[in-house]
């Protein structure tokens, strides 16, 4: 008689969801910021947050189990990662990403519906989304965009550049952080008109209006003008169809000088389409948000870049924030 395997994998998947949900609730309630001045009991933290202790306590223990808080002598404290990334006011703060996570996870919960209907059930159309929807979406992305800008500026020595294009830049976080890291760098954020107004708000808040321009345009229209040193496309190609991705790369390439560099930040699959895990998983989200967007493969990126007159293409899987990959290329 064939041995019946236990449903351990199924049950493991079913119950592993609670750690991310605890993290999301902790970010939404801003549990971590009041702990910046030291450990607190559940009662003390509840008072600081204006919440009932008996309601907050189960979440606090779940956050300990999720490795986001520690517990000693009935006092809760931030872990090193929570202290760096989830305390408001830190330059590395990414707690606002809870709006993005809520949006992505809600979309992924309906992936079967999207597949069955042959249409995204939670479609993102940046031209028709309301201001509040756009604001929530790009606030959620801003912390990661800032982290990307800092990483690129440091790792790839952006201080050797004078002019940066932040293409489909959303909040402008990449441009803002890169300019903060490199004192002589100037940047231009390219975005659709409704999103461009959001980017201007973030640029103004960063006191960088003299160095960061925001231009409302559709990169799928005419080729862009200019002779910039470097272009960054963060989370852009994955919302486009293959033909649109090709066109975007050609249009952006037209605005780079010979020898200029392009950095594509996003979820890139290996050619077997089985890794990295975040790229595989994000395709469930893309199915529910976009008509054609998806995580594309390394080979697809290489082909499109070569067609757009780029060379020296390299792919660093999972090297960017949040498991994103970094594709680097140079214009011929």
Residues 124 and 23 in one domain: no
Position 159 scores a pLDDT of: 96
Instruction: Write down the mean pLDDT value for the chain.
Output: 95
Position 134 scores a pLDDT of: 85
Dihedral angle at the C-alpha atoms of 122, 123, 128, 134, nearest 10 degrees?
Answer: 60
Here the CATH number for the domain that contains residue 49 is: 1.10.10.10
* Residue 233 falls inside a structural domain: yes
Residues 76 and 107 in one domain: no
Residues 81 and 155 in one domain: no
Residues 60 and 187 in one domain: no
- Distance in angstroms (rounded) separating the CA atoms of residues 176 and 206: 7
pLDDT band at 166 (very low <50, low <70, confident <90, very high): very high
Residue 86 has pLDDT above 90, yes or no: yes
Residues 114 and 83 in one domain: no
- Distance in angstroms (rounded) separating the CA atoms of residues 315 and 317: 6
Q: 228-246 pLDDT, tens per residue?
A: 999 999 999 999 999 999 9
* Residue 304 falls inside a structural domain: yes
Q: 189-213 pLDDT, tens per residue?
A: 999 998 999 999 999 999 999 999 9
Residue 323 has pLDDT above 90, yes or no: no
pLDDT band at 223 (very low <50, low <70, confident <90, very high): confident
Q: Which two tokens stand for residue 211?
A: 């160095």
Write out the DSSP string of 177-208.
Answer: HHHHH-TT-EEEEEE-HHHHHHHHHHHHHTT-
Residue 44 has pLDDT above 90, yes or no: yes
Across the range 137-156, mean pLDDT stands at 92
Q: 251-284 pLDDT, tens per residue?
A: 999 999 999 999 999 999 999 999 999 999 999 9
> Of the candidates 64, 88, 112, which is a domain's last residue?
88
* Residue 184 falls inside a structural domain: yes
* Residue 3 falls inside a structural domain: no
* Residue 154 falls inside a structural domain: yes
pLDDT band at 1 (very low <50, low <70, confident <90, very high): confident
Dihedral angle at the C-alpha atoms of 189, 93, 30, 71, nearest 10 degrees?
Answer: 160
* Residue 197 falls inside a structural domain: yes
Residues 147 and 215 in one domain: yes
Query: What beta strand segments (E) does the chain contain?
Result: 69-72, 75-78, 163-167, 186-191, 212-216, 228-234, 256-266, 268-269, 296-297, 310-316, 325-331
Position 215 scores a pLDDT of: 95
Residues 256 and 228 in one domain: yes
Position 133 scores a pLDDT of: 84
- % the chain with pLDDT above 90: 87
Residues 12 and 157 in one domain: no
Predicted model pTM:
0.87
Domain span holding position 62 = 8-88
Distances, alpha carbon 135 to alpha carbons 18, 57, 75, 140, 168, in Å: 27, 31, 36, 8, 15
What 3-state class would DSSP assign to 328? strand
């Amino acid at each position: 008689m064939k041995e019946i395997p236990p449903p351990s994998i199924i049950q493991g998947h079913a119950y592993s969801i609670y750690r991310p949900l605890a993290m999301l609730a902790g970010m939404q309630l801003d549990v971590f910021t009041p702990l910046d001045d030291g450990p607190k009991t559940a009662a003390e933290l509840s008072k600081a947050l204006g919440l009932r202790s008996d309601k907050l306590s189960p979440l606090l223990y779940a956050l300990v189990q999720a490795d986001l808080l520690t517990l000693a002598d009935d006092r809760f404290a931030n872990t090193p990662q929570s202290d760096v990334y989830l305390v408001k006011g830190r330059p590395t703060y990414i707690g606002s990403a809870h709006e993005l996570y809520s949006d992505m996870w809600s979309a992924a919960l309906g992936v079967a519906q999207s597949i069955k209907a042959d249409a995204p059930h939670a479609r993102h159309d940046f031209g028709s989304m309301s201001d509040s929807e756009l604001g929530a979406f790009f606030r959620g992305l801003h912390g990661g965009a800032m982290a990307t800008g800092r990483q690129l500026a440091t790792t790839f020595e952006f201080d050797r550049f004078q002019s940066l294009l932040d293409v489909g830049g959303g909040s402008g976080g990449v441009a803002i952080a890169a300019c903060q890291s490199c004192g002589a760098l100037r940047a231009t954020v390219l975005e659709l008109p409704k999103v461009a107004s959001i980017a201007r708000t973030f640029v103004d808040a960063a006191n960088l209006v003299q160095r960061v321009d925001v231009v409302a345009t559709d990169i799928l229209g005419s080729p862009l003008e200019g002779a910039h040193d470097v272009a960054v496309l963060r989370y852009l190609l994955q919302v486009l169809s293959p033909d649109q991705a090709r066109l975007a790369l050609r249009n952006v390439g037209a605005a780079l000088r010979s020898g200029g560099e392009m950095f594509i930040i996003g979820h890139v699959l290996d050619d077997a389409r089985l890794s990295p895990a975040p790229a595989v998983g994000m395709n469930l989200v893309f199915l529910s948000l976009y008509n054609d967007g998806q995580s594309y493969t390394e080979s697809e990126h290489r082909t499109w870049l070569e067609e757009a007159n780029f060379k020296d293409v390299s792919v660093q899987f999972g090297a960017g924030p949040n498991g994103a990959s970094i594709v680097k290329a140079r214009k011929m």
